[in-house]
């Protein structure tokens, strides 16, 4: 009884991923209070396996708006797992990905 229900949920998740992660689409999401990640999806042919091919740009919106750092271009092409796409390794308040702040370096 439990296995058919799990299969239904897997199919629903796959359908949702196919709808959201389309080729040549740019997605943006805040992954911390002032950190925004933009994902330019170039290929979603491995979407059923849980992977996409994309270029990623992660910016601190506060630093860019104040002119402390320049606006960055998208990074190199990479194959990334969907469950790792929105993971932030820094502090929950933002800052830099290594957990420091740009104010620490001034």
Q: How far apart are the first and last CA of the chain?
A: 61
> Are the beta carbons of 32 and 93 closer than 8 angstroms?
yes
Q: What pTM, to 2 d.p., does this model score?
A: 0.80
Query: What integer pLDDT is reported at residue 90 of this predicted model?
Result: 81
> Are the beta carbons of 51 and 80 closer than 8 angstroms?
yes
> Are the beta carbons of 57 and 85 closer than 8 angstroms?
no
Confidence tier at 31 by pLDDT (50, 70, 90): very high
Average of per-residue pLDDT across 60-84: 90
């Amino acid at each position: 009884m439990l296995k058919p229900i799990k299969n239904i949920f897997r199919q629903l998740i796959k359908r949702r991923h196919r709808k959201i992660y389309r080729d040549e689409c740019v997605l943006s999401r805040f992954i911390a209070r002032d950190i925004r990640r933009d994902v330019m999806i170039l290929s979603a042919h491995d979407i059923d396996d849980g992977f996409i091919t994309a270029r990623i740009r992660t910016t601190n919106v506060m630093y860019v708006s104040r002119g402390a750092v320049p606006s960055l271009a998208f990074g190199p092409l990479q194959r990334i797992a969907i469950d790792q796409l929105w993971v932030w390794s820094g502090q929950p308040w933002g800052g830099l990905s290594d957990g420091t702040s740009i104010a620490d370096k001034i």
